[in-house]
Structure 1
């Protein structure tokens, strides 16, 4: 069984021994493919340090997270874009809009989001979207950018059925993580009306740990709990969920 974690910040663990232990636990649980989203300029080096250690398991992205959009955002964007020439990346991410923490930066977030969508289109890459309390704003941008080049993943999807269908119609996969295991989240009820062909799995490690680890630091090896919950929803063997969602990840990321 081969599982793919399409969104993990495993590189945040900078202690070499602890990082190796995290990876070993991944491989023990069949989590063999990990996609590493970039969030700011500083995380480029962390990702670039980890990928060569695990070249058949770890795959890089490049992007500026909406929560890291500050006054000097254009300089940060330029630095991130400049790094792409010397790196192998598989997506522009994570990018998007976050209105949970700070609504005052919306205009800047919109500018950053659009610029990075254009990077992805020019490079022929998917985008990985961070959307928190901003579905209307994100969809407005995506609808205006809709074309055959626009595609990617809605990371940590927690929307309703209508939003799920709109995302899928825009050529996006839904990234399903630990929230699907939370009893009151209602995400399981949404997925029951969708096809497994539209989903990929993720952890967002070290955040959003699934049950039975909710409230504790998450790690990519816990993806197996997400996969089992999705298997329960679709009434399929976990091995089949792993196969389909890994194939979906290959379609979106090209590897």
Structure 2
């Protein structure tokens, strides 16, 4: 079986002591590709260094995380533009709205999101959306651009069944990670009516580790645990989840298995 982690922050300091070993371990678990969303200028070099460890397996994105949108966000957006002028990138993000930690910069987050949408359309790249406590608001911002060919992933989807249906009707995919293994998360019910052809797997490592590692550092090698739970929820074989979600990821990122 072959898996793809469509969203992992392998470049963060949590992996500084064993990054290469963690990636090799994940490859041993069947992981073929790793997609790294950007955070901000402070992590760009670490992201590039991580790609250099396994350049044929690690793919980068260009963007500004909504939690990094502060007073200087326009300077950060200029940094993203500079990055895109120099480096290859497979997606735009992660971007979006985060109303969980702080709502001081909501309008700035929205402005940043609109810039990312413009980039995604211009470069014909998937848009990777962070929607913590903001799924409905994000849908309403994104929806008018669908006619321009915009597509992407609602990363770490945590919305309702109605929102899930609306998102896939827009041509976007749902990123499903460790939360699906959490008791009483409700995610299993929210995606019960969604065909696997609209789902991709992700870890968001080092965050949101699946059971039985909940609360500990997450790793890309835990993708099979997420896939197993998804197979249980959907009452299908694990191999089917692996095959379909991997195919979805390759299509989204216009990639192929090496």
Question: Which TM-score band (shorter chain)?
Answer: over 0.9
Cα distance in 2 for partners of 1:245, 1:35 equals 14
CA apart distance, 1:75: 0.7
Cα distance in 1 for partners of 2:145, 2:244 equals 28
The correspondence of residues 49-68 of structure 1 with structure 2, limited to 5 A, is 49-68=49-68
Q: Which residue of 1 aligns with 2:222?
A: 222
Q: Which residue of 2 aligns with 1:18?
A: 18
Q: Which residue of 2 aligns with 1:174?
A: 174
RMSD: 1.3
User: Mind listing any 5+ residue stretches in structure 1 that lack a counterpart?
Assistant: none
Per-residue CA deviation, residues 192-213 of structure 1 (Å, 9 max, x unaligned), is 2110000000000000000000
SS of alignment partner, residue 150 of structure 1 = coil
Cα distance in 2 for partners of 1:108, 1:16 equals 32
Contact 2:14 2:206 (8 Å CA) reproduced: no
Q: Judging changes above 3 Å, is the alpha-carbon distance between structure 1 residues 12 and 191 closer, same or farther for their aligned structure 2 residues?
A: same
Q: Which residue of 2 aligns with 1:250?
A: 250
Cα distance in 1 for partners of 2:189, 2:2 equals 26
Contact 1:191 1:233 (8 Å CA) reproduced: no
SS of alignment partner, residue 229 of structure 1 = helix
TM-score normalized with structure 1 length: 0.97
SS of alignment partner, residue 51 of structure 1 = helix
Per-residue CA deviation, residues 153-189 of structure 1 (Å, 9 max, x unaligned), is 0000011110001111111100000000011101111
Cα distance in 2 for partners of 1:247, 1:58 equals 17
CA apart distance, 1:17: 5.6
* Pair 1:121 & 2:121 matched: yes
Cα distance in 2 for partners of 1:80, 1:19 equals 25
Cα distance in 2 for partners of 1:49, 1:241 equals 31
Per-residue CA deviation, residues 1-48 of structure 1 (Å, 9 max, x unaligned), is 110000000111476660111011101111121100001012221111
Q: Which residue of 2 aligns with 1:43?
A: 43
The range that moved more, 233-242 or 34-43, is 233-242
TM-score normalized with structure 2 length: 0.95
Per-residue CA deviation, residues 117-154 of structure 1 (Å, 9 max, x unaligned), is 10111111110000011122211211232324210000
Cα distance in 2 for partners of 1:221, 1:15 equals 13
SS of alignment partner, residue 168 of structure 1 = helix
Cα distance in 1 for partners of 2:109, 2:83 equals 21
Contact 1:3 1:242 (8 Å CA) reproduced: yes
Per-residue CA deviation, residues 214-253 of structure 1 (Å, 9 max, x unaligned), is 1111111111110100111122221221111010001111
Q: Which residue of 2 aligns with 1:6?
A: 6
**Paired residue total:** 255
The correspondence of residues 1-255 of structure 1 with structure 2, limited to 5 A, is 1-13=1-13, 18-255=18-255
Contact 2:136 2:163 (8 Å CA) reproduced: no
SS of alignment partner, residue 141 of structure 1 = helix
